[in-house]
Amino acid sequence: MTDIVQTQTTGLASGEIHIPLNKLKKSPRNARKVPHGEAAIEALAASIQHKGQIQNLVVEAELKDGEPTGCYFVTAGEGRRLAQLLRAKRKQIKRIEPIRCYLDTENDPAEISLDENVTRTSMHPADEVCRYFELSQERGWGAEEIGARFGVSPDIVRRRLRLGAVSPKLMDVYRQDGLTLDQLAAFAITDDHARQEQVFENLSFNKEPWIIRRDLTASHVPATDRRAVLIGADAYTEAGGTIIRDLFTEDGGGYFEDAGLLDTLVTERLREIAGDVLAEGWKWAEASIDFPYDHGMRRSYPQTQALSDADEVRLQQVASDYDALIEGFSSYDEMPEDVAAKAQVLEAEIDAITAKRSAYDPDVIARSGVFVSLGSHGEPKIERGFVRAEDEPQAEAGPEDEDGTEAQDSEAFEDDSERGDEGEDDADPGKPISDSLVRDLTAHRTLGLRLALGEQPDMAMVALTHAMVLDLFYRSFGQSCLDLRVASEPLESHADGIAESSAAEVLALRHDEWGVQLPADAADLWGFLAGIDSESRTALLAHCVSLTVNAVKLPWDRSTSRIAAADGLARAVDLDMTRHWTASARGYFGRVTKAQIAQAVSEAVSPEAAERIAPMKKGDMAEAAEQLVGASGWLPGILRTPEPDTVEAEPVATEADASGQPSEAEAPDTEAQDADAFLAVAAE
């Protein structure tokens, strides 16, 4: 087409012209003041590169003193001008490349710019999705090809193609605003159109994406499950399993379809690990997904060992090299790759040498076993040193008589009061004294011990700790002279999954850390406890006391004093259960009434939120409540630490200060009140 550039005193004539790219300028009258984003310019450049410039730029001539300068302002199409400049920067075209434009000399440039940006309707996303899907099916283009032609990242194209696989029926519902884009994306978790439509028909008015995904994957295992983490996607698919990918969530992990296959693979992996551990010399090794908390066995721990001189020298050298290498860095991420690799090698060597400082006695290994189970984060959990009852070392039997009973002097069982003066004539000083006298004398000794121990608080702490550690760590091996009954109620039978909670893991770790430090033989325990510093001994006692806490309320337990004591203890230790428990559908909402769910949501979020979910079915309502309440820190009443009771004091005839408030000396000590209340209830 012939370019029309007519220079007259009245101006230039309108028409299509080709203008060198370097003669085009941004118009000062452009209505768009916020510039185009880089992604938008990239997309335009890619589109022009593959298909040419589809739409003309609208321009006006630049005038100086009423005369054209030869340059032009882009009234409409600034994005396309920037895209062409990007192409020139990439050497795809020259900066003098003729650009097809339309010279408009009739309309107001500012109005044209505004009109272009306002008077337009974007394509419905469903049409974009379907067109991408058609290009993929009809022309065989992959995500990379389509993305290159439209200036869109391959990941975005893959998501569009995934949406294109949604049932046409649901796509029509989306076009009619019956579904949101997020809801439509939730259906794309599976390619089964019949299943998609079935779930859609069964949905209530609540069509939250997470509910749709939950219903579509009801029998599947999420990739975040500890079993899936252990096995991994590659091993699972190699074994014939199928993973449903979710391209619309951040992790994109998907779901493992065959839970049975996954359990089999996990068990096999744990058995392989158990076999490797058994090669260490242990008598037995058992593998299971869940740890058998009801095993009832005593556990032995590794004992402290001295490093060899060579290991001590090497440890100091490696530690020095490691400190010098990491100086100035706060993490491996900040280090150059080669430095980080060297640091990790040195750290591994430090750990290997340090591990030699504790080891199991060979006799313990020969009669003990190992449990291999799956940790809460998908890691193999190897716990060594458990001794079966039949493998416990037996005490040496004393001398026995012909009847199989221990030899005793029959006269030792006689009451000395019945022997009369015959005992005075007995000239044998080695003859045992009578039982009644033994009982008499030991009673006096007990009284003396009670008096003396009560006068020595530090030694009383040692004796109490000794008694508790014997019961909680050594089971029946060893006995204290304190008449205490120490027990730790197993909680696994009361709450499903409690053993895998983070709080249980921290408590188990603390228990194991003490177990490693204690002597292997119960006979050596007293000397160990007397030899450690008071701070360590107090910490051990606190741990043992903590294991005896039992605030479990059983259905048949009608007593209230123990639960009241637990309330007092909770106040005394300032218990905050939000650190250890979060309301979930499985753990709470699915096990209470709809009215109780609504009450919880009303307290945690708002009465309006409770009203919105009230019409749902019980299961949906529980799931929705978990989403709403989960991060709020809400607790049911039974988990809340009660406030201390306020007791009105009798008016005291003292002179008040100017403010009318009691002085510091008169102010109530609430912490002391909590402790007193706890002790008072515990004494009932």
pLDDT tens profile 130-179: 776 777 776 777 767 776 777 676 777 777 777 777 888 888 888 888 88
pLDDT band at 436 (very low <50, low <70, confident <90, very high): low
Considering the domain 15-118 in this protein, what is its CATH number? 3.90.1530.10
**DSSP code at position 607:** H
- The answer to whether 233 and 255 are in contact (CB under 8 A) is no
Report in angstroms the alpha-carbon separations of 598 from 204, 211, 281. 18, 18, 57
Segment among 139-148, 343-352, 523-532 with least mean pLDDT: 139-148
Residue 325 confidence (pLDDT): 86
Residue 278 confidence (pLDDT): 94
pLDDT over threshold 90, residue 43: no
Residue 196 confidence (pLDDT): 83
CB-based burial, 366-380: b 16+ in 10 Å, e otherwise: ebbbbbbbbeeebeb
Mean pLDDT of the chain: 77
In the three-class reduction of DSSP (H, G, I as helix; E, B as strand; rest coil), residue 476 is classed as: coil
| Structure confidence by residue, pLDDT tens digits, 60-76 | 888 888 888 889 999 88
Query: What number is the average pLDDT over the span 473-478?
Result: 68
Burial of 109 (0-12, 13-18, 19+ CB in 10 A): buried
Q: What is the 3-state secondary structure (H, E, C) of 229-251?
A: HHHCHHHHHHCCCCEECCCCCCC
Instruction: Compute φ and ψ for 439, nearest 5 degrees.
Output: -65, -40
| Structure confidence by residue, pLDDT tens digits, 170-228 | 888 888 888 888 888 888 877 778 888 888 887 766 677 877 877 777 678 888 888 99
Residue 386 confidence (pLDDT): 93
pLDDT band at 507 (very low <50, low <70, confident <90, very high): confident
In the block, tokens 């008169």 appear at: 666
pLDDT band at 681 (very low <50, low <70, confident <90, very high): very low
Q: What is the 3-state secondary structure (H, E, C) of 355-381?
A: HCCEECCHHHHHHCEEEEEECCCCCEE
pLDDT band at 253 (very low <50, low <70, confident <90, very high): low
Segment among 11-25, 59-73, 456-470, 511-525 with least mean pLDDT: 456-470
What is the DSSP code string of 22-44? GGEEE-TT-S--SPPPHHHHHHH
- The answer to whether 473 and 486 are in contact (CB under 8 A) is no
| Structure confidence by residue, pLDDT tens digits, 294-337 | 787 888 888 888 888 898 899 999 999 888 888 878 777 778 88
pTM above 0.85?
Answer: no
Residue 473 confidence (pLDDT): 79
Bridge pairing between strands 358-359 and 303-304:
antiparallel
In the three-class reduction of DSSP (H, G, I as helix; E, B as strand; rest coil), residue 559 is classed as: coil
pLDDT band at 2 (very low <50, low <70, confident <90, very high): very low
pLDDT band at 274 (very low <50, low <70, confident <90, very high): very high
Distance CA 641, CA 632 (A): 17
Distance CA 493, CA 499 (A): 10
- The answer to whether 565 and 678 are in contact (CB under 8 A) is yes
Residues with Cβ within 8 Å of 243's Cβ and at least 6 positions away in sequence, in order, are 223, 233, 236, 237, 254, 255, 256, 257
Query: What number is the average pLDDT over the span 258-287?
Result: 91
Neighbours of 529 (CB within 10 A): 21
pLDDT over threshold 90, residue 410: no
Query: What number is the average pLDDT over the span 482-502?
Result: 76
pLDDT band at 675 (very low <50, low <70, confident <90, very high): very low
Going edge to edge, which strands form the sheet with 221-222? Answer: 221-222, 255-256, 243-244
Query: What number is the average pLDDT over the span 527-544?
Result: 86
Q: Highest mean pLDDT range out of 271-275, 356-360, 399-403?
A: 271-275
- The answer to whether 125 and 175 are in contact (CB under 8 A) is no
pLDDT over threshold 70, residue 44: yes
Distance CA 7, CA 56 (A): 22
Residue 414 confidence (pLDDT): 47
| Structure confidence by residue, pLDDT tens digits, 378-395 | 899 999 999 998 888 775
pLDDT band at 441 (very low <50, low <70, confident <90, very high): low
pLDDT over threshold 70, residue 614: yes
In the three-class reduction of DSSP (H, G, I as helix; E, B as strand; rest coil), residue 14 is classed as: coil
pLDDT over threshold 90, residue 601: yes
Better-predicted residue by pLDDT, 581 or 251: 581
